[in-house]
Amino acid sequence: MSAPNRPILVLALGNDLLGDDGVGLAAARILRGEFQDVVEMVESSEAGLALMEMLEGYERVLLLDAVVTGGCPPGTVLEFSLENFQKIVASSPHYAGLPEVLAIAEQLEIAFPRELCLLAMEVESPYELHEGLSLSAQKALPTFVERARQVLQGWRW
Q: Is residue 147 part of a domain?
A: yes
Q: Is residue 1 part of a domain?
A: no
- Tens-binned pLDDT, residue by residue, of the chain (157 aa): 444 456 999 999 999 999 999 999 999 999 999 998 899 999 999 877 778 888 888 999 999 999 998 899 999 999 988 777 654 445 554 444 566 666 667 777 777 788 999 999 999 887 888 889 999 999 999 999 999 999 999 997 5
The torsion angles phi and psi of 69, rounded to 5 degrees, stand at: -95, -25
Q: Is residue 46 part of a domain?
A: yes
Q: Is residue 27 part of a domain?
A: yes
Q: Under a CB-based contact definition with an 8 Å cutoff, are residues 96 and 42 in contact?
A: no
Count of the separate structural domains present in the chain: 1
pTM score of the predicted model? 0.85
Query: Domain containing 98 — which CATH number?
Result: 3.40.50.1450
Q: Is residue 23 part of a domain?
A: yes
Q: Under a CB-based contact definition with an 8 Å cutoff, are residues 151 and 119 in contact?
A: yes
Q: Under a CB-based contact definition with an 8 Å cutoff, are residues 23 and 66 in contact?
A: yes
Q: Under a CB-based contact definition with an 8 Å cutoff, are residues 75 and 23 in contact?
A: no
Q: Is residue 36 part of a domain?
A: yes
Q: Is residue 92 part of a domain?
A: yes
Give the residue numbers spanning the domain of 23: 6-155
Would you give the end-to-end CA distance of the chain in angstroms? Answer: 23
Q: Minimal CA–CA distance to 14: which of 154, 157, 118, 150? A: 118
